[in-house]
Structure 1
Amino acid sequence: MSSQVRLRLLPSDRCLYDEPIQVKVSHLRSRQVVTIKASSTDEKGVLFSSSATYRADGNGDIDLVRDASLSGSYVGVEPMGLLRTLKPNTLNTLFIKEKALEPHMVKFSVHDEEDQILAEVTNERLLMADGVSRVSVKEGSFHGVLFTPPGTGPFPAVLDLCTVMSERRAALLANKGFVVLTLSVFQEKLGNLKMLHLDPLEEAIIFLLQQPKVGSKRISIISNSKSADVALSLAAFVPGVEAVVWISGCSANTALPLFYKKRQILPALMFDTTKVIPTQSGAVIGKYAMHDPLKEENRASVVPIEQANAHFLFVAPEDDLCWDSYTYMMEMMERLQHLGKTNFESVCYPKAGHFLEPPYGPFCPSSLNMFLKKPVLWGGESRTHAAAEVDMWKKIQEFLKSHVSCDPVQTDAKL
């Protein structure tokens, strides 16, 4: 390793997961060509890696904010390209980084044309900011994880409703000043489930509103994929929901019949496995397998969001290959507009795929689908999808802050 070449991550080697960094290399030879590599091992032990070749300027410097990659995992100027293009050594693998207490560790290194390491540094990408608390919760019929910001509050409350349990998004929202309870819509093993119940989720809402630092009288819900239609149902049927962020979801209740107060409130919209399209990668396209919720025989599964006393943010990727979330979003907006309602806003992202997450994680083109039990293509063009995640993350925070207010008097009474 060269003692002169310097690799720096600015403003620091240590940052929050959703913060960009500036990668700079100095003390190279004038116009020297080097390869910058990144690697990270996920929570399942899978190695992800990326690389890009750069030419130093006349002073021997490279700045990824300014300079273009000549070849490798991406080409052109892209400051966070090495993180976006981290790829697994096996096909159809999702990067698993869901435990909030453990940072996302990424090793960056600079290599000469003989692949000798000239410099290296490790980026520690934290999910939890200093002072944020994490507590596992098991109350009544639900279990999840509660994240609370530092300080006395009051803070708005958010229910992070997951299709697959993850702490990542909840921890990152707690860093922004929200009390967040994250839990899966599946409170039992999916293979054992014949139906879904809203009652445990209602218990979770009540629990969240009773937290000492919570100052809002009602909660927001953030959701994606299958959990997005459950979030719509909570807003339509259960008291206490002020706002819903719906990401890459359906307008109907999918996969399992939905129950509340010991009665079925919505049947399930199902899918036709014969309409799944195979591809050469081994992953399938599921977009055209879902039954049409607007056909007469399926209309009973459509969630009656028009009866919800809540604000909605609909987020739809236009290249979703899992299901047709853009069409579902347009249907819901038209239905609300027809009734004269204005309690919604929307954003759609061309060339973005189904799997929209907080920014600066590896792009996932395909991975196992829990319902089809086989790998599926999620869609999206990697670079455009990554830009959509950055924009979406800002819009989500703005929406949540504008639609859930805090009542200091209520908080004082709790304390």
Structure 2
Amino acid sequence: MTSQVRLRLLPSARCLYDDPIHVKVAGLKSRQLVVLKAQSIDDKGVLFNSSAVYRADGNGEIDLERDPSLRGSYTGVEPMGLLWSLRADTMHTKFHKSHAEKPHFVKFSVLEEEGLGTALAEITNERQLLADGVSRLYVKTGNIRGVLFTPPGEGPFPAVLDLYTFGGGLSERRACLLANRGFVVLTVALYGHDDLPKKVQELHLDYFEEAIEFLRNAPKVCGNRVGVISLSKSGDLALSIATYLSHVAATVWINGCNANVALPLYYRKRQILAALMFDISRIVTTESGALNIKDGINNPMAEENKDTLIPIEQAMGRFLFVAAADDLNWDSCAFVNQMVKRLKLHGKDNFESIFYPASGHYLEPPYGPYCPSSFHGVVGKPTLWGGEPRSHAAAEIHLWRKIQEFFKMHLISDAAVTKAML
């Protein structure tokens, strides 16, 4: 490596996963063309890469907040482009980073644009999922299998139940990142983890009722009510939790459905919702081999499916509906419009909606690799998720701030009301 070339990550090479960094290069020749490259290995050992060609200014410097990428994994001025454009060599591969105690390490390199691509400078960005002082407690009590994250300090803090997705196993990423921002968060596995069944034929709200009670009684929790955050299939679970269970003040629904999907839902040993199913004849196989399943789900508004619709007008808390306009898993925007119409017909105004143009299904915490397609646990094959990478990345940044604002507004204010009543 050439010692005179300096690659810096500001304010520090060590940061939180959802914090931006400022990438700067100095010591190059005037107007020199170089390749900036990023590499990272996920929890499954898969290598992800991104690269972009930049031209130094007259002083031999490059500033990713000022200078455009000329070609590569992205073009234009994209300060965090090297992170969200990380891709695996194998198609239909999703980036897996779910263990809170394992940082996301990204190696940044400056390479010569011509010749053999000799490395001129390198630096590693350590992106922590778990902030200093945040506690992680594995929960195995009663039927609950999950992880509880608690911020440092005396608190009390607002509490959130994180359902993440319907997939088997347990993902800690979003939950611990919320805890870093001042929430007590319990993320739970639904199946395929610890001693839970590897597969399920039905779901029971009793499990989530137990989880809510555990969370409400956890140390440092303020108020009497909790928030719920979801994504995809867990979106309809979140709606049912908010509708049928007590103590839910705020629910974030991201790219879900307004009906109970795939599995019948039970509560106290009685089925309360039938399952909305799919019609495989409407699923399209694309040239890449991935499926486009957007039109595969049956119409929840059809008369024959009315027993799958969730009566969200009965919910006492607030809703934040989030839909990606290019969601190829299903038509999230249509489901939001149907829910809004239903609530308004019942005289309810306890909701707000956000639509993100050119964004795909997996809206997650920001600065992670964009995923255009991957294996679908329910379908059993790779599927397209939709979205344009740049727009999707911008949506994740905006949504992450909005989620925190929404929960703080409705959970902390609820705590204040509860305290006043006491």
Q: TM-score range by the shorter chain?
A: over 0.9
- Which residue of structure 2 aligns with residue 307 of structure 1? 314
- Distance in 2, matches of 1:311 and 1:242, equals 6
* Aligned-partner SS, 2:228: strand
In the TM superposition, what is the alpha-carbon distance from 1:328 to its structure 2 partner?
Answer: 0.4
CA contact (8 A) 1:74 1:81 kept: yes
1:48-92, Cα deviation, whole Å (9 max, x unpaired)? 001001110000000000001111111111000111110101000
Structure 2 unaligned residues grouped into runs of 5+? none
Which of 179, 193, 202 aligns to 1:195? It is: 202
Q: More displaced, 398-407 or 100-109?
A: 398-407
1:349 aligns with 2:356: yes
- Distance in 2, matches of 1:272 and 1:377, equals 17
- Which residue of structure 2 aligns with residue 64 of structure 1? 64
Q: More displaced, 185-194 or 340-349?
A: 185-194
- Which residue of structure 1 aligns with residue 12 of structure 2? 12
RMSD: 1.4
1:177 aligns with 2:179: no
Going from structure 1 to structure 2, the CA distance change for 1:335 and 1:292 (only over 3 Å counts) comes to same
In the TM superposition, what is the alpha-carbon distance from 1:254 to its structure 2 partner?
Answer: 0.3
In the TM superposition, what is the alpha-carbon distance from 1:194 to its structure 2 partner?
Answer: 1.2
1:269-325, Cα deviation, whole Å (9 max, x unpaired)? 000112111001110011100000000000110011000111000000010000111
CA contact (8 A) 1:215 1:410 kept: no
Which of 343, 349, 359 aligns to 2:366? It is: 359
Paired amino acid for 1:9: L
1:250 aligns with 2:252: no
In the TM superposition, what is the alpha-carbon distance from 1:191 to its structure 2 partner?
Answer: 5.6
Paired amino acid for 1:335: R
In the TM superposition, what is the alpha-carbon distance from 1:332 to its structure 2 partner?
Answer: 0.2
- Distance in 2, matches of 1:94 and 1:203, equals 31
1:151-191, Cα deviation, whole Å (9 max, x unpaired)? 01010100001223310100010011100000133377676
* Aligned-partner SS, 1:65: coil
1:379 aligns with 2:380: no
Structure 1 unaligned residues grouped into runs of 5+? none
- Distance in 1, matches of 2:178 and 2:129, equals 10
In the TM superposition, what is the alpha-carbon distance from 1:340 to its structure 2 partner?
Answer: 1.3
- Which residue of structure 2 aligns with residue 232 of structure 1? 239
- Distance in 1, matches of 2:222 and 2:313, equals 27
- Which residue of structure 2 aligns with residue 85 of structure 1? 85
1:151 aligns with 2:153: yes
1:122 aligns with 2:127: no
1:91-145, Cα deviation, whole Å (9 max, x unpaired)? 0000000000011000000001220000000000011111000010011111100
* Aligned-partner SS, 1:399: helix
CA contact (8 A) 2:31 2:57 kept: yes
- Distance in 2, matches of 1:185 and 1:257, equals 14
Alignment of structure 1 residues 205-354 onto 2, 5 Å: 205-354=212-361
In the TM superposition, what is the alpha-carbon distance from 1:192 to its structure 2 partner?
Answer: 3.0
Q: How many residues align?
A: 411
Paired amino acid for 1:182: T
TM-score scaled to structure 2, two decimals? 0.95
TM-score scaled to structure 1, two decimals? 0.97
- Distance in 2, matches of 1:202 and 1:99, equals 25
* Aligned-partner SS, 2:339: helix
* Aligned-partner SS, 1:59: coil
Alignment of structure 1 residues 376-415 onto 2, 5 Å: 376-405=383-412, 407=415
1:243-275, Cα deviation, whole Å (9 max, x unpaired)? 100000000000000000000000000001121
- Distance in 2, matches of 1:192 and 1:391, equals 35
CA contact (8 A) 2:191 2:198 kept: no
- Which residue of structure 1 aligns with residue 74 of structure 2? 74
- Distance in 1, matches of 2:191 and 2:263, equals 11
Paired amino acid for 1:127: L
- Distance in 2, matches of 1:184 and 1:137, equals 10
Moved over 4 A (4+): 187-191, 406-411
CA contact (8 A) 1:185 1:227 kept: no
Paired amino acid for 1:171: C
